[in-house]
Amino acid sequence: MIGHFLTWLQNTLGKGHGDTAQSWSEALLGSLNFWGLLEGTHLLALMLFAGTIFVVDLRLLGVTFRRTPVSVVSDRVLPLTVVGFLLLLATGLGLFFAKPLFYYHNLWFRAKMIFLVLAMLNIAVFHTRVQHNQAAWDTAPKPPGPARLSAVLSLVSWILVIAMGRFIPYDWFECGKPVPHWANVLQDCKASEKGAYEKSVTTANPTTAKPGGQAS
């Protein structure tokens, strides 16, 4: 069902009449200047968003700004974090809209979404549980264990989000190419337009390999 919706989103939504008509998704992807501006803004927003989060995390670990209360550091960078997040969300949705099927069947994008969810859950836990007694350790050079653990999880999660996003352009596990079985499964290549090809089968008998990892 998701695949059908994304196919409609990419190939049909906003498409006019005529052989040269393009959907809104295709028009966005084909707009070289706007696409580059969108992608560049997304990267800058990511730097702003992640950078401000890292500042707070390093303070929670007692690495930087040890003489400054955690609340002061957090309050100073929070407006920038919000701005970065809003820009990141808007540009990210735009990038996804331009190539929804590509991203949906991309291993790195799926891994990025998983780590993104974990990072957001960690934020929720920090604000609902860890931060409830912040007044007791707000000025401490090194906050207590739960706060430091939350900071470590935050750093690791966001670094992985960034790393997975950086790997998206690489076609190491692209659907339609000979890839391991697990990659085909994790990306749901069988349901993609390019199909699923089993690496073991194509290596052994490349002339008879068929989509889905079955040989004729």
41, 48 in Cβ contact below 8 A?
no
Token pair 């906050």: residue = 143
Q: Where are the beta strands (DSSP E) in the chain?
A: 178-179, 197-198, 209-210, 214-215
How far, in Å, are 9, 58, 185 from residue 155 at the CA level?
Answer: 34, 9, 29
- pTM listed for this prediction: 0.84
Residue type, 122: N
DSSP for 13-45, written as a single string: TT--SSTT---HHHHHHH-HHHHHHHHHHHHHH
Q: What is the pLDDT along the chain (216 residues), one digit of tens a residue?
A: 788 888 888 888 878 787 778 888 888 888 878 888 998 999 999 999 999 999 999 999 999 899 999 999 999 999 999 999 999 999 999 999 999 999 999 999 999 999 999 999 999 999 999 988 889 999 999 999 999 999 999 999 999 999 999 999 888 888 888 999 999 999 989 888 888 888 865 444 444 444 444 433
Q: Which residues contact 38 (CB under 8 A, 6 or more apart)?
A: 91, 94, 95, 98
